[in-house]
Amino acid sequence: MTEAAPKKEQRRKFQAIRGTRDLLPPGTALWNHVEETAHAVFGTFGFGEIRPPIFEPTDLFARAVGGETDIVSKEMYTFDSSMGFAESHVKEGKILADAENPTSIGLLSDMLGAELVSLRPEATASVCRAYIEHNMQQLPQPQKLYYIGPMFRRERPQKGRYRQFYQIGAEVLENVKPDPTRDSAKELTKDAITDAEVIQMVMTFFDKLKLAGVQLEINSIGHAADNCRRGYVALLKSELEKVKDKLGADSQRRIETNPLRVLDSKLEHEQPVIATLPKIADHLCDDCKSHYAAVKRELELRGVFYKENWRLVRGLDYYMRTTFEITAQGLGSQNAVCGGGRYDGLVELLGGPPTKGIGFAIGEDRLILSLQEAKDAALAAGKLPPFVYIAWMGANAYAAAVHAAKDLRAAGVRVELPPVEQKFGKALERASKLGAQYALILGDNEVAEGTWTLKTLADGAQQKFTEPHLLDFLKKL
């Protein structure tokens, strides 16, 4: 029998998947600057970094974010995590028993129950899962955690909206111990202070980055009780039923699934109808009212400017009381750079102890877009170390060049050391093309004399240095 000739592989050119993109240099310098600023600013507020995994059980997000939300019902990348195993053990529809590995049958039966996992669409659920898993309620409270990383949502891609996007987020989690003597008024103020501190932290971060046109909007959506949000939602629903005919299909559907989300509508023709609906602020219980008043007071005390927006309800189910969003300039319709709020009770919903929570997530892609619009901030981030191209010629000069590169890099200077000897003219041309500010000229003569020539490429000026003086000069830059 002759073996069939292997099929010739078709050449195929690949492209990044729709809604994903490559972040490339030099643009990534601004990303690094933003992330370094986040580490620094969040550190001053006592936050520590957490790095949860990128995929989690689908059910974690369904429970936390809400099964009826757009994020969970339409936008998650979900797969059966045992599929890889299944594919290697299932052939032509038959399960292959593995005699050497009897446990594989057990694993297979688990697999047939399907273990659904999803790429994380957000990270609050993951942080709460981690808080429970690592018994963080036993650590000093509150736990203040932040994260930076990619999230995944299958949304319609457009400017500022991607299917893989990056968030910089923070969460404050605090275990609530049973205490019959607790003064509830004091407790509400304490929570409001935490909310204000968290908001102040994001605003400080944006301020450090010189983000332009920053606007903070806040609201309170009360808590799930008949004399508070539940009562309001029932009223809202009955009012919405009366004007149903004037609403679009999405809003009509939301009257049934999640009436609060109707307030989120951006449709022009729905705006006059929505303007006449009852406002939640008039239906908050006394505790939620005083908490909201305290949040505003605490923001004012910190000099944080805000605007109230009674329609700010957010698209995730876990929120209660404080909700907030921050917009910035230059982003078009996707102008929310940050969203957050309070979510007491979420940890408990995920099987943990009674815990309060408040946090936010910044859309890093949008933040970067807005910073790029305002050139100043981008320039500040572009403050790179001095860049020296070593133009060497001759065997002795080469050895000196290798040492010089090592010393200069150790001093924080960016160095390009060409692997081949080049005529000086060629070397200078290449140095300019790469964007170097200086060319360090090393020929056998320079090495013999122990003095090195540094040429400033912008104006052609030349200065002679001994090695230690050269290092001093570059370090001062």
Q: Shortest distance, CB of residue 275 to ligand HAM, whole angstroms?
A: 24
What does DSSP say about strands 387-393 and 414-416: parallel, antiparallel, or unpaired? parallel
257: Cβ–Cβ under 8 A, 6 or more apart, which residues? 68
- Chain residue at closest Cβ approach to ligand HAM: 363
Q: How far apart are CA 427 and CA 202, in angstroms?
A: 47
What is the total count of residues that contact ligand HAM (CB under 6 A)?
Answer: 24
Number of C-alpha atoms within 13 angstroms, CB side, residue 415?
23
In Å, what is the CA distance from 477 to each residue of 303, 462, 467? 37, 16, 16
Q: Which one of the spans 77-85, 94-102, 185-193, 330-338 is the region binding ligand HAM (CB under 6 A)?
A: 330-338
Cis peptide before 6 (omega within 30 of 0): no
Q: Which is closer to ligand HAM, CB of 195 or CB of 446?
A: 195
Q: What angle do CA 294, 296, 301 make, to 5 degrees?
A: 90
**Binder of ligand HAM out of 60, 243, 336, 411 (CB under 6 A):** 336
Is position 70 an interface residue for ligand HAM (rule: CB under 6 A)? no
Alpha carbon 437 to chain centroid, angstroms: 34
Q: Which is closer to ligand HAM, CB of 69 or CB of 175?
A: 69
Buried b (16+ CB within 10 A) or exposed e, 154-170: bbeeeebbbbbbbbbbb
Is position 339 an interface residue for ligand HAM (rule: CB under 6 A)? yes
* Contact by Cβ (8 Å): 346, 329: no
Residues in the chain: 477
Q: Shortest distance, CB of residue 264 to ligand HAM, whole angstroms?
A: 11
Q: Which one of the spans 163-171, 202-210, 284-292, 303-311 is the region binding ligand HAM (CB under 6 A)?
A: 163-171
Q: How far apart are CA 280 and CA 257, in angstroms?
A: 18
Q: Shortest distance, CB of residue 334 to ligand HAM, whole angstroms?
A: 7
Q: Which is closer to ligand HAM, CB of 331 or CB of 415?
A: 331
Going residue by residue from 281 to 300, which x/- string records binding to ligand HAM, judged by CB under 6 A?
--------------------
Q: Which is closer to ligand HAM, CB of 142 or CB of 160?
A: 160
Q: Shortest distance, CB of residue 265 to ligand HAM, whole angstroms?
A: 16
**Binder of ligand HAM out of 82, 104, 118, 124 (CB under 6 A):** 124
Cis peptide before 26 (omega within 30 of 0): yes
Q: What angle do CA 252, 258, 260 make, to 5 degrees?
A: 95
**Binder of ligand HAM out of 165, 292, 392, 398 (CB under 6 A):** 165
**Binder of ligand HAM out of 202, 337, 400, 413 (CB under 6 A):** 337
* Contact by Cβ (8 Å): 218, 284: no
Q: Which one of the spans 156-164, 208-216, 399-407, 457-465 is the region binding ligand HAM (CB under 6 A)?
A: 156-164
Stretch 341-380 residues interacting with ligand HAM (CB under 6 A): 341, 359-361, 363, 365-366
Residues in the site for ligand HAM, rule: CB under 6 A? Answer: 122, 124, 153, 155, 160-162, 165, 167, 169, 171, 316, 336-341, 359-361, 363, 365-366
